[in-house]
Amino acid sequence: MFKKIGLRIRKVRLSLNIKQKDLARKIGISQGALTNFELGRRKISLEWLVKISRALDTPVSYFLVDIEPQVDAKSLGSKELRLVRSFQKLSADAKLQYDVLQLVDRMGRHVAKKGAGARRSP
C-alpha cells in the first residue's frame, strides 16, 4: 500500500518538475525521509500525506484511490471502526481531514498526559 502511495507522490512531483529536495524543504522534512516515502520504505502518516498533497496541489484522494487499507476491521473496537468510517467520509476535503486529524491527535496527547485512568466516554 505505501509503495503505491509513494509512487504516486513521485509521479506527481516529477510531472510538476519539482525537485525532491524542494518538496521536502517545503513540507518540512528531510530529503531522505521523502525518498523513503516515495520508495515505500517508510509508512506515511495521513498528516504527512496531507502536507504533500497541499504542496503538490493534488487531492489526497488521488494518492489513496484503489488502495485497500491494511487495517483489519476485526481488530478494531466498535468505536475505532466508527471513527475510521467517519474519517473516510471526509476524503473529499483534505483540509478538513487535516484539521480532524490534528484535533484527535491533540486530544490523544492530552489524555496520555493525564495517564491511563483518564475519563472515558461511552
pLDDT of residue 35: 94
Query: What single DSSP character describes residue 111?
Result: H
Angle at 51 between CA 94 and CA 35, to 5 degrees: 135
For the chain, the domains span 2-64, 73-114
pLDDT of residue 122: 47
Q: Which residue has the cell 483534505?
A: 94
pLDDT tens digit string along 64-92?
Answer: 776 655 556 667 778 887 887 777 777 66
Tell me the percentage of the chain whose pLDDT exceeds 70: 84
CATH superfamily of 2-64: lambda repressor-like DNA-binding domains (1.10.260.40)
pTM: 0.55
Q: How much is the average pLDDT of 33-52?
A: 91
